[in-house]
Amino acid sequence: MATSLSLPRVQSANPVPGVLRLVPGLALLVAIGYAGKVLERMVNTYTKTRHLTFPNIEYVLWAILIGLAISNILTIPKIFHAGIATYEFWLKIGIVLLGSRFVLGDVLKLGGVSLGLVVVEISLSLLLMTWLGRVFKLRPKLTTLLAVGSSICGVSAIIAAKGAIAADDEDSTFAIAAILALGALALFTFPVIGHSLHMNDTTYGLWAGLGVDNTAEATAAGALYSDSAGKLAALAKTTRNATIGFVVLAYALYWAKRGQASTVTNKAAFLWNKFPKFVLGFLGISLLVTFHTFSKDQVTALANLSRWAFLLTFAGVGLRTNFREMSKQGLRPFIVGALGEVLIAVLTLGLVLGAHRIWGI
Amino acid sequence: MTSKTNEKHKSFRLSLDAWAVIVAFALALATRLDIFKKVPW
């Protein structure tokens, strides 16, 4: 992700060997994650011993808040950037290991429900964002990027679509800025709405997975509600991610037909290329757990490893979110994104509540 | 390296997704071997 918002990738000209360059940033992610755990325990003990009424702030929120404070108050030295940028890698590892918490039957059942909801969500979101883009007279390719980003998979989808439809850097930066800013807002608004509507973990988790755009933020928004909701949010979001190839292919064909992008010669290769491979890893681990390859204690250890991988991700989400940078990106794409997101959030909320009534999820 | 060699070299590079799956399965194998048994999570 080489945008003005994200942290720069490792440059090959750097004299320090590859893996060593990741150490400072990685150490920072681990330190923030650990500090989140310690703070959760300390605050809980303090409030309990003094009989104070204080909401239980989970380590997830502490990790995000510490990251946010560091990135918005201080300037993060360059030496940390490469390591911090690995948060996406930990996210994917966390999702693969999360497979240990679903036997294949659950994946098929919940994944099936998610897939049904995802198809409806993506279709309506794409139509809605395209319409909003036209109303606000955004550049057509910027509208496409915002539509792809808000309907499927946030930043990854925008990057995948950018190459496929030959969009320029400015458009993708705008779209990424809007999606990231709105993802940060969703982190704090979704749990509040969920609690005020007394949603159960399953419906809330599905809603977070369908309504929040970026995978890291969707998982965090779920985990902020409860551990079980976080698990469901990641599953629903992973289902959404799996559709990325089909939507990007459709847009690539559309822009190629208009002569504004190169033609797609091998559609199957295109789909495989865009398919998020970690989904297969998730299914693989789930399959191993289903066939009792691991003992109960080992499954618990896998779940803990997954939680730790997510914790590093959440620390990275906080560190990556810089409100000053976001405010520089222009208002119109943000307004279109925000309007679209609010409508998509309402729409997906209606979808999961409907599914809850019909299928009792 | 010529551009052709570069191209060939590039095709052998694993994606972030592939690395994530490899590392996750390595962690799963380590778990199966009880390496994390005494970790205070």
Q: Where are the domains of chain A?
A: 21-359
SS3 category, A291: coil
| More confidently predicted of A58 and A3 | A58
Question: Which pLDDT value is given to residue A178?
Answer: 76
Structural domain including B22 reads 14-41
Tokens of A94: 């966390």
Is the CA virtual torsion A164, A169, A171, A175 positive or negative? positive
CB A207 within 8 A of CB A230: no
| More confidently predicted of A70 and B6 | A70
Question: Which pLDDT value is given to residue A192?
Answer: 93
Distance (Å) from the C-alpha of residue B26 to the closest C-alpha of chain A? Answer: 11
Nearest residue in B to A276, CA atom = B17
| pLDDT digit string, tens, across residues A310-319 | 889 989 988 9
Nearest to A9 by CA among B8, B40, B33, B16: B16
From residue A258, how far is each of A123, A159, A163, A262 by CA, in Å? 22, 21, 16, 10
Question: Which pLDDT value is given to residue A301?
Answer: 94
A311 CB within 8 Å of a chain B CB = no
Question: Which pLDDT value is given to residue A10?
Answer: 40
Mean pLDDT of A270-297: 89
Distance (Å) from the C-alpha of residue B30 to the closest C-alpha of chain A? Answer: 10
A88·B16 Cβ contact <8 A: yes
Residues of B in contact with A1 (CB under 8 A): none
Mean pLDDT of A328-349: 81
Contact partners, residue A346, CB within 8 Å, separation at least 6: none
- As a whole number of angstroms, the distance between CA A283 and CA A278 comes to 9
Q: How many domains does chain B have?
A: 1
| More confidently predicted of A157 and B6 | A157
A92·B39 Cβ contact <8 A: no
B5 inside domain: no
Does the pLDDT of residue A143 top 80, yes or no? Answer: yes
Predicted confidence band of residue A260 (pLDDT cuts 50, 70, 90): confident
B3 inside domain: no
| pLDDT digit string, tens, across residues A155-198 | 777 877 877 777 777 777 777 777 777 888 888 899 999 999 99
CA A230, distance to chain mean position in Å, is 11
B31 inside domain: yes
B6 inside domain: no
B37 inside domain: yes
Question: Which pLDDT value is given to residue A6?
Answer: 43
